[in-house]
A and B are shown apart, each in its own frame.
Chain A
């Protein structure tokens, strides 16, 4: 090794490494807590708070409820009632019983 290399190596070795944060190791370790463990430790109230329902699901549920309400409120003209004449009209045609 010649003198130039020695000077260069001396200068290179002289560069300090700024120490990492004191809690770097613990930060890495805690960032890697198993996912299952994180989920398990979540109480129900917390889980409920974090529960998010997508807007499309709200729209679908609302449409279904509206449909049921409209169905219940509408006059049941098409329903097969217990009226015997109505039943007869299904069972008979002009030429007699089916």
Chain B
């Protein structure tokens, strides 16, 4: 049964989910959880919040599967990016202050510590720089750079036109270059 479901496309699975087929839902969750978790994580830089957003997004399609309109020609993943991205936008509206999470804990071994401190400070600097970007710039960068979506797809997900999306990415990159160069020297 599970093997048969694994052969189905996301869109076919969604049709089954609309008939309350729990195994189809499980297949879809197992297929895409990590991918969409990464999207949410790169927007929020917090494990538990990213997990909550992905869980909410999947439960939304289980509890109200009719929000997916089959037959419009849209791919499930493109549509689901929008659900997750909207979740991130909603979260950003009620954002909490920045906290250093477990990913940046530093080991006690001295050699390892020096290397870790250097790496962590670089990660931390980049994370901070991305975190400080306006949310739309951050999401645009996330979709185009990390997810490898085309500008057209990312624009559709963010509900903006192509020029607006290109402008968001350009401004994000400019801001990042400026931030990095002021923090570590001559990057730009």
Contacts and interface: CB of A to CB of B under 8 A. Distances in A.
A31 B59 CA distance: 8
Interface residues of B, number: 38
B156 interface: no
A17 B55 CA distance: 17
A96 interface: no
Interface residues of A, number: 23
A24 interface: yes
B127 A15 contact: yes
Contacts of B26: 29
A20 interface: yes
A27 B48 CA distance: 13
Interface residues of A: mostly helix, strand, loop or mixed? Answer: helix
B123 A20 contact: no
B54 A18 contact: no
Interface string B29-47: 1100110011001100001
Contacts of B63: 32
B81 interface: no
